[in-house]
Chains A and B, each alone.
Chain A
Amino acid sequence: MDQAVGADVRPFIQVSEVWVPEGDRLVLAGGCYGGLDAFEASSRHESFAKGEGLPGKAWDEARPVVLKGFEGSYFKRTEAASAAGLTSAVAIPVFAGAKLKAVLVVLCGDDANRTGAIEVWQEKDGLLMLDDGYYGAAKHFEWVSQHTHFPRGQGLPGGVWASETPMLMRDLGSGYRFIRSESAGRAGLTTGLGLPVPAPLKGTYVLTLLSARGTPIARRFEIWDARDAKVGKENEAVLIDGICARDGKLWDEDNTRRVAAWQGVIGRVLGTGVPVVESGSPGLTAGYDSVVAFPIHRGGELAHVVAWYI
């Protein structure tokens, strides 16, 4: 594990926020603004109708949406975002069957100095193609990704697609499907989290978060399995994979960690089926500043929870 993590990490994602439906609008349920107080304040007064702004668009189109450059776009908080140095955003809707549970929005900025990748892959003619992605300074990797496709079962996106299970890849620099690996290695991308994004209308989507050492998306990743097929009828989840810059491996074959609904941050996601963004209480966030815990529903039921901490 990468033990030499400095205290002055510059996270790739600067803002994470959760929007939930209330009546016919999306309202803010929680967020971590990383000290961008003015942007936070302007968000607190915001709400979105279906089709309105970025969260409303993800709701309306029932699919993840990447938006690079806010100026002149449908983005509603452009002024506050520019003032905060935020330039790009990704909105991921959470559907349980046909029902919208929430929209997670992550915002990034400072493009020239941060490396990482948030990618949306979409199935076309039996292959996963890059729908869109935000890469910060990883321009070469962005170009390579635009010219790569993944068949079923191949690479992180193809693996997630075929197994319908979130996956956590180590060491993207080695063998992560040919040219992607070489370029990933050069961009310093090490760890990749891939998750299926159920889209009730149509289409197959896979979201990947690729984290680089210097400007990580997260320094701790967890994947929890909450399916009846794994844990039985109880509303519980078991940790099936995870790594942490501080604690090393989090999985233990002989001694599986298990949480019940409402127990801690993961338990809150189990209980509500809605993403949780938590910051400011290190006791709840494994000693890190913040956590995003994100539910994945399958067939209308909560199947997995993935969490990333920074």
Chain B
Amino acid sequence: MKKLVVIGAGMASGRVLEHLFESAPDAYEVTLFNAENRGNYNRIMLSPVLSGEKSYEEIVTHDEAWYAANKVTCRFGEHVVGIDRARKVVIGQNGEVPFDKLLIATGSAPFIIPVQGKDLPGVVSYRDLDDTEAMIEAAGTRDAKAVVIGGGLLGLEAAAGLRLRGMDVTVLHLMGHLMERQLDEAAGYLLKRDLEKRGIRVITRASTAAILGEERVEGVLLEDSTGLKADLVVMAVGIRPEARLATDAGLETGRAIVVDAQMVTSDPDILAVGECVEFDGNLFGLVAPLYDQAKVAAATLLGEPSAFVMRETATKLKVTGCDLFSAGDFAEKDGREDIVYRDPGRGIYKRLVLEGEKLVGAVMYGDTADGGWFHGLIKDQTDISEMRETLIFGPAYQGGAALDPMAAVAALPADAEICGCNGVCKGRIVEAIEGGAHSLDDVRAVTKASGSCGTCTGLVEQVLAVTLGDAFELPTAKPVCGCTDLTHEDVRRLIKAQELKSQPAVWQELGWKTPNGCHVCRPAVNFYLLADWPLEYQDDPQSRFVNERNHANIQKDGTYSVMPRMWGGMTNPEELIAIAEAAKKYGATVKVTGGQRIDLLGVKKEDLPAIWADLNGAGMVSGHAYSKGLRTVKTCVGSDWCRFGTQDSTGLGIKLEKRLWGSWTPHKVKLAVSGCPRNCAEATCKDVGVVCVDSGYQVGVGGAAGMDVKETERLVDVATEEEAIEWTVAFVQLYRENAKYLDRPYKWIAKVGLDWVKEVLSDPAERAALVGRFDISQSVYQKDPWAERARPEAARRFLPLADLTLEAAE
């Protein structure tokens, strides 16, 4: 009998031996080495062992009786330390074994990030039963805390298991969403929500700086200097193929042991299978392809023809109650098309990625029943053009449940607030409808819902439709865009009612029909989120128009304009000299604008950071002439200089501009302050225009002087400057919180009615609350974009494209 030595009793080699003994029980006399002190077991089921949902006995795949029956000499708990190819022997810790054929199946080793403290007791990786038992042991201490580094498959299974065992668990993930290699952002959002429901804390974009502790691990420090207490740290950031024996023996290796399609290494008598191999440039991390390799290796050992081919693998997560499935490639690329299905009520998200007539990727969360079928279509590259329309509903499509435009409203819990003005929640409205209120007017009369500003009208109508079915005819309202059937007003209201604080949350909970919005809805949703949750939400530059992204106006010829702020239209010789010098240096054309400031036109993109730095140096900040935000506050010379002047109009204009600059608004906002009714600053055609009179200040709102010309309407007359500022700020904040994106104030006022605006603002408490919220927002957003972007690292974004590719390659 020929001698076969196998190094590693893992998932792959176990299958090789099964196939071998099945086809030719007497072909080889086998010696099986394993570094672990046990035989083959189902490694992937370690996670349910960790959680307590399986026992180790259940996951053993080959027991003593099996090895005995197949006459396998077991050398468990013994490392192989070398291979002598010349003498054809394997060198174990306890002695040598000769071979005719050798199979290397050493798997891989956990990757340990090289941070301080990585070797402290209490820091474990997650690969084998010993690691699992160490974790179970650590979970036995009352109130013990675990930090899991890595939000991939392994890390999350470890986190869920430790949580079930009673630990306080935090997951740190470097990327923006969990399992980013297998899931898109939308599915990552649902997974995070599911894990948080289990009491697991998830921190994304978390970079580990050090593991802390003296005798043993005590905590983890993040780059942003967050500190976390920890009694156990699990490192699950990735794996490294275990190829050292092969390298030392002089076999050909790349990132792992190189094998051909017969699983033979560069030595014809040595085969390799599993995670330790590299085939055609590919590495392996899931068992499905390893089982294929095992079949091929067994055939090769028996001299039968067979060849390994790569195939698409699918991913699942073994956390009870988390149903996810992912297969193929779902990166966004030109020529690809998405089909998306969402059911907010059931937490379902499905996305198919098509390229031409083929399905190339599938991600699903919450409903994975058709995962296998989609996986098959991807693997077989089936032409799906015939079933394109119904593909997302799976093989059992029977008339298919069409995407329900009202799913988002139907899914709302009873305590979700529909009418923000009068504090009316969905449950109350449903009660009223069930009590006989069958029209919008009836509901309004009974509950007051939609009786004030009216922005929730669309939602109240949808609640009517959901409750009454086809007995209620829904008026057609204009949706935001093709991604949703909801209107802007609906979206705004629902973001508040459901406390949606991220874009993925909006896409999922409101049932978006695209994976992550389009150029129409993204800027709007980005604005709504930053306006409603200034502290929690992070502004997304990718969801902004190009001018806002570059913080400059692109001109007809592709150059940019640069406009520094001149507070209230006031400047001084130093500023003017700096502007003049900058204009000369960068070859800019100089224009005095209608907004009482100076525009430098014709600046090249790559010069932007430098000219910003120069103007910054002279004490000037961006004029935001490109933004949906505060533009200018135009003033007249006022009581300081003008014999008609009643108040210090310039001073008030400067104060207003200093208070309001940097804030993002639904559309641009222009202000003016005139010192007397002669109105030299043209305050009566601005979004907010203050006209000073002897008795104080007349605050007007909703003016316009564009395609539409409109005079302002009087909001209030106040006696003091403080009050004028308070009312103005409160008005701007109400506009920010309430208006549809891209509605100028006059359009918004026409919708909600000036009376409602007056009613809200005339309540001192309400006014103070609005001002308070505005100030919180300004604490985040009142930053000079020039100062941030003039820094060298950020400045590189503005270099011509050739250098951008360089950056990507680095």
Q: Check A241 against B53 for contact (C-beta < 8 Å).
A: yes
Q: Check B142 against A178 for contact (C-beta < 8 Å).
A: yes
Residues of A33-48 whose CB lies within 8 A of B: none
Q: Check B198 against A229 for contact (C-beta < 8 Å).
A: no
Which chain A residue has the least Cβ–Cβ distance from B394?
A232
Closest beta carbon of chain A to B322's beta carbon, Å? 8
Q: Check B396 against A153 for contact (C-beta < 8 Å).
A: no
A233 with B367, Cβ < 8 A, contacts A162-B321, A165-B320 known:
no
A154 with B164, Cβ < 8 A, contacts A228-B369, A229-B323, A232-B396 known:
yes
Chain A residues near B370: list those with CB within 8 A.
Answer: 232
Is the CB of A170 closer than 8 A to any CB of chain B?
A: yes
Q: Check B139 against A175 for contact (C-beta < 8 Å).
A: yes
Q: Check A178 against B166 for contact (C-beta < 8 Å).
A: yes
Chain B residues near A241: list those with CB within 8 A.
Answer: 53
Q: Check A163 against B199 for contact (C-beta < 8 Å).
A: no
Q: Check B166 against A170 for contact (C-beta < 8 Å).
A: no
Tally of chain B residues near chain A (CB < 8 A): 40
Q: Mark B305-323, 1 if CB is under 8 A from A, else 0.
A: 0000000000000011111
Chain B residues near A151: list those with CB within 8 A.
Answer: 199
Q: Check A170 against B55 for contact (C-beta < 8 Å).
A: yes
Q: Mark A230-249, 1 if CB is under 8 A from B, else 0.
A: 11111000000101000011
Is the CB of B368 closer than 8 A to any CB of chain A?
A: yes
| Most-contacted residue by chain A among B42, B52, B348 (CB, 10 A) | B52
Instruction: Determine the distance from Cα of A241 to Cα of B142 in the docked complex, in whole angstroms.
Output: 29
Closest beta carbon of chain B to A86's beta carbon, Å? 32
Closest beta carbon of chain B to A59's beta carbon, Å? 24
Determine which of A164, A165, A171, A178 lies in contact with B52 in the assembled complex, contact meaning CB atoms within 8 Å. A171
Chain A residues near B136: list those with CB within 8 A.
Answer: 174-175
Closest beta carbon of chain B to A165's beta carbon, Å? 4
Chain A residues near B57: list those with CB within 8 A.
Answer: 1, 248
Is the CB of B58 closer than 8 A to any CB of chain A?
A: yes
Instruction: Determine the distance from Cα of A162 to Cα of B195 in the docked complex, in whole angstroms.
Output: 9
Is the CB of A32 closer than 8 A to any CB of chain B?
A: no
Is the CB of B398 closer than 8 A to any CB of chain A?
A: yes
Instruction: Determine the distance from Cα of A307 to Cα of B562 in the docked complex, in whole angstroms.
Output: 73
Is the CB of A68 closer than 8 A to any CB of chain B?
A: no
Determine which of B52, B140, B141, B367 lies in contact with A169 in the assembled complex, contact meaning CB atoms within 8 Å. B52
A229 with B367, Cβ < 8 A, contacts A152-B199, A175-B52 known:
yes
Q: Check B368 against A154 for contact (C-beta < 8 Å).
A: no
A229 with B368, Cβ < 8 A, contacts A152-B199, A177-B166, A178-B140 known:
yes
Chain A residues near B394: list those with CB within 8 A.
Answer: 232
Determine which of A154, A158, A167, A234 lies in contact with B53 in the assembled complex, contact meaning CB atoms within 8 Å. A167
Is the CB of B366 closer than 8 A to any CB of chain A?
A: yes
Q: Check B199 against A154 for contact (C-beta < 8 Å).
A: yes
A154 with B398, Cβ < 8 A, contacts A169-B53, A171-B55, A230-B368 known:
no
Determine which of B58, B165, B197, B367 lies in contact with A177 in the assembled complex, contact meaning CB atoms within 8 Å. B165
Q: Check B165 against A231 for contact (C-beta < 8 Å).
A: no
Q: Mark B366-391, 1 if CB is under 8 A from A, else 0.
A: 11111000000000000000000000
Closest beta carbon of chain A to B382's beta carbon, Å? 19
Chain B residues near A171: list those with CB within 8 A.
Answer: 52, 55
Residues of A267-299 whose CB lies within 8 A of B: 299
Chain B residues near A70: list those with CB within 8 A.
Answer: none
Chain A residues near B197: list those with CB within 8 A.
Answer: 152-153, 162
Is the CB of A176 closer than 8 A to any CB of chain B?
A: yes
Is the CB of A15 closer than 8 A to any CB of chain B?
A: no
Instruction: Determine the distance from Cα of A177 to Cα of B389 in the docked complex, in whole angstroms.
Output: 50
Chain A residues near B181: list those with CB within 8 A.
Answer: none
Residues of B169-208 whose CB lies within 8 A of A: 197-200
Q: Check A229 against B58 for contact (C-beta < 8 Å).
A: no
Q: Check B396 against A243 for contact (C-beta < 8 Å).
A: no
Instruction: Determine the distance from Cα of A76 to Cα of B476 in the docked complex, in whole angstroms.
Output: 59
Is the CB of B758 closer than 8 A to any CB of chain A?
A: no
Q: Check A168 against B53 for contact (C-beta < 8 Å).
A: yes
Q: Check B53 against A230 for contact (C-beta < 8 Å).
A: no
Q: Check B321 against A164 for contact (C-beta < 8 Å).
A: yes
Is the CB of B54 closer than 8 A to any CB of chain A?
A: yes
Q: Mark B53-72, 1 if CB is under 8 A from A, else 0.
A: 11101100000000000000
Q: Mark B389-408, 1 if CB is under 8 A from A, else 0.
A: 00000111010000000000
| Most-contacted residue by chain A among B51, B165, B394 (CB, 10 A) | B165
Is the CB of A116 closer than 8 A to any CB of chain B?
A: no
Which chain A residue has the least Cβ–Cβ distance from B195?
A153
| Most-contacted residue by chain A among B200, B346, B369 (CB, 10 A) | B369
| Most-contacted residue by chain B among A168, A178, A231 (CB, 10 A) | A178
Instruction: Determine the distance from Cα of A176 to Cα of B139 in the docked complex, in whole angstroms.
Output: 9
Q: Check B396 against A234 for contact (C-beta < 8 Å).
A: yes
Is the CB of B492 closer than 8 A to any CB of chain A?
A: no
Q: Check B199 against A162 for contact (C-beta < 8 Å).
A: yes
Instruction: Determine the distance from Cα of A229 to Cα of B367 in the docked complex, in whole angstroms.
Output: 4
Is the CB of A56 closer than 8 A to any CB of chain B?
A: no
Instruction: Determine the distance from Cα of A232 to Cα of B370 in the docked complex, in whole angstroms.
Output: 7
Q: Mark A206-250, 1 if CB is under 8 A from B, else 0.
A: 000000000000000000000011111110000001010000110
Q: Check B164 against A170 for contact (C-beta < 8 Å).
A: no
Is the CB of B163 closer than 8 A to any CB of chain A?
A: yes
Q: Mark A130-165, 1 if CB is under 8 A from B, else 0.
A: 000000000000000000000111111011001111
Nearest 3 A/B pairs, CB to CB: A163-B321, A153-B198, A229-B367
What are 11 A-B residue pairs whose CB atoms fall within 8 Å in the complex?
A162-B198, A163-B198, A165-B320, A170-B53, A172-B52, A175-B139, A177-B165, A178-B141, A241-B53, A249-B58, A251-B58
Query: Other CB < 8 Å A-B pairs besides A156-B164, A162-B321, A170-B52, 13 of them?
Result: A153-B164, A154-B165, A154-B199, A165-B321, A167-B53, A168-B53, A171-B55, A174-B136, A179-B142, A231-B369, A234-B396, A243-B58, A249-B58
Q: B residues within 8 Å of A by Cβ?
A: 42, 44-45, 51-55, 57-58, 136, 139-142, 160, 163-166, 197-200, 319-323, 346, 348, 366-370, 394-396, 398
